[in-house]
Structure 1
Amino acid sequence: MTRVLFVDDDIELLDIAKLLLQQSDLDIEVIVATSVKEALERLEKEQFDIVIADYLMPDASGIDLLEAIRSSDDAIGFIMWTGHSREEVAIKALNLGADYYILKGANYRDQFNTIRDVMKKIISKKNTNSKTIQNIISQKKASEFIHRLSHDITGIIHNIIGYATLIEEEQDMSYIQGISRLVTKLSDRMKSAVETVDTGVLTL
């Protein structure tokens, strides 16, 4: 479930927002806050995926909220939804890391359809980023596993070569037994590696 924090000092608008957003086909939970202070308190205690905020509020601005969020978290989606159409505000919001800047209009239903579409884009982007991170982690695990395996096998092979050199030089049968032990060790190490992958101990 996607958790959304909607921040606006207009209580009636928050009621409408909660109703219309939760009527969508998105699996979301909408939590409301009537001030930047309340929003920051909630963000400190709870996890949210998206924040939707007005620009002008009594205690602080939506820009202040965005700056506070981005100072510690780049992953939360942020939508600035405001009646203020000043270009410099929009530019500053986007430069600070807002995902979208939407102007308020008279038709709330159309506005919330737009907000839902934007939220879908943010959710899709977050899911894509999450898969990318997981792929990177999987590749790192595979690389580390191969490195360890290569190190072990290289060490055993070097020892086998050493025994072979001694046999050639001294013709001592005890060295043949050493080679046999190392070949067995090498075989066991390869079987262990295969089992690690097959049983899912190494999750790629």
Structure 2
Amino acid sequence: MPPPDPGGAADESVLVLHVDDEPDFADLAASFLVREDDSFEVVTATNAQEGLDVLGARAIDCVVSDYEMPKMDGIEFLEVVREEYPDLPFVLFTGKGSEEVASDAIQAGVTDYLQKRGGTEQYALLANRVRNAVEKRRSQHALAERNRRLGTLVSNLPGVVYRCVNEPEWPMEFVGGECEELTGYSAETIESGEVVWGADIIVPDDVDTTWEQVQVALETRDPFELTYRIRTADGERRIVWERGRGIYEDNELVALEGFITDITERQHRKHELERKNARLEVLFENSPDLINVHDESGTIVEANRRFCDELGYTEEEVVGMAVWDVAVRATEADVQAMKRETESGDLRRIESTYERSDGSHFSVVNHLTQLDLNGQERYVVIGRVADD
């Protein structure tokens, strides 16, 4: 079973397995390694099989192994280790030095090769080789994990991530994500320049505006946000939203990076909602009925033209008045009772007497309904003068 993935560079502890068939030398080497680097913990084994057992049980960061050992020498041990742990640092620390051994070790995938020498200096060198090998592996794993997460993020984005040159045609150096779903073109086609974003994809009428908006943002080094139209491979027009920013090296602009997503349906829904609201506004303002909207406290928040004209007030004067300022028999207690008794969607008929600004009265038949507008409780009152 392979050891767990190594920690990041911030994890300073290093677990070393030293395999040598001379126990006294293995213990001595372990002591010197720990003395050279107190972040090391060294586990010793006296043969390759014992070393494999340790590897199966402990999360070893680096193997240091002798070459000449009974039953299984250091190269054979390395070959077995590589089958199970392909990237585990392995340092061959051997008293037998020859070009043949070194060549075999390299061919088997050794991380480093160090010949035993007299004196304690060799342990400082060994400790340095081990630390470098472990840090390199940890950095590679951290980078691989970061790239994996980035790849997962990009593959799940509802759009396209890109890196391009700041030129009017926006030549793309990298395109990732749902490129083909958005444009009908593969990422490779766009990256190769066979299809150019600014010339072949952006609708011609939007090219100049897009360029100008980006340049304005780059002048102040601010992120930019754009909405523009594109033309897909099959000729369909779509609306996209883009957010990006300049990338600088040594204070020089070297590229743009950003994200582009399809907002066609959202824009269509927005425009349809705007048209619907415009129609409702016309109906509201031009209705022959007296319409007002008040909140749960009884304060009028909106009124149509007929309501204001009939009462003799301007809209500015009406908004902020209480219901009982208009309906002469209404009280604050009545409004609170109505609130308790009326559920959303209910329609209630109420006969009221309104008082105009000049003090005169008139009868009104109202129909009241409670609505939830953007999370706010509102009461819409549609009234008709009783004589009408």
Do they superpose with TM above 0.5? yes
The question of 1:127 aligning with 2:237 is answered no
The question of 1:156 aligning with 2:167 is answered no
Q: Contact 2:90–2:110 (CA<8 Å) still a contact in 1?
A: yes
Which protein is bigger by CA-based radius of gyration?
Answer: 2
1:123 Cα deviation after fit: 2.2
Specify whether residues 59 and 140 from structure 1 end up closer, same or farther in structure 2 by C-alpha distance, changes over 3 A only.
same
Q: Deviations over 1:75-129 (max 9, x none)?
A: 211000111122111111112211111111122x111111011012112212321
Given the alignment, which residue of 125, 133, 146 partners 1:114?
A: 125
2:104 is matched with which residue?
A: 92
Q: Contact 2:17–2:44 (CA<8 Å) still a contact in 1?
A: yes
Given the alignment, which residue of 48, 63, 71 partners 1:51?
A: 63
User: What does 1:52-201 correspond to in 2, within 5 Å?
Assistant: 52-107=64-119, 109-147=120-158, 153-157=263-267
Specify whether residues 67 and 106 from structure 1 end up closer, same or farther in structure 2 by C-alpha distance, changes over 3 A only.
same
Specify whether residues 157 and 60 from structure 1 end up closer, same or farther in structure 2 by C-alpha distance, changes over 3 A only.
same
SS of structure 2 residue aligned to 1:31: strand
Q: Report the residue type matching 1:114 in the other structure.
A: L
Specify whether residues 74 and 154 from structure 1 end up closer, same or farther in structure 2 by C-alpha distance, changes over 3 A only.
farther
1:140 Cα deviation after fit: 1.9
Unaligned stretches of 5+ residues in structure 2 = 1-12, 160-258, 281-373, 375-388
Q: Which has the higher helix share?
A: 1
SS of structure 2 residue aligned to 1:142: helix
1:199 is matched with which residue?
A: none
Partners in 2 of 1:77 and 1:66 — Cα distance?
10
- For these two proteins, the number of residue pairs brought into alignment is 170
1:34 is matched with which residue?
A: 46
SS of structure 1 residue aligned to 2:37: coil
1:72 Cα deviation after fit: 1.8
SS of structure 1 residue aligned to 2:158: helix
Unaligned stretches of 5+ residues in structure 1 = 168-172, 175-183, 185-204
Q: Report the residue type matching 2:63 in the other structure.
A: V
1:135 Cα deviation after fit: 2.4
Q: TM-score, normalised by structure 2?
A: 0.39
Q: Report the residue type matching 1:136 in the other structure.
A: N
1:153 Cα deviation after fit: 4.1
Specify whether residues 91 and 46 from structure 1 end up closer, same or farther in structure 2 by C-alpha distance, changes over 3 A only.
same
- Higher-RCO chain (CA-CA 8 Å, sequence separation at least 6): 1
SS of structure 1 residue aligned to 2:60: coil
Which structure 1 residue ranges, 4+ long, deviate > 6 Å from structure 2? 148-152
Specify whether residues 154 and 46 from structure 1 end up closer, same or farther in structure 2 by C-alpha distance, changes over 3 A only.
farther
Specify whether residues 151 and 92 from structure 1 end up closer, same or farther in structure 2 by C-alpha distance, changes over 3 A only.
same
1:150 Cα deviation after fit: 6.7
SS of structure 1 residue aligned to 2:157: helix
1:73 Cα deviation after fit: 1.4
2:18 is matched with which residue?
A: 6
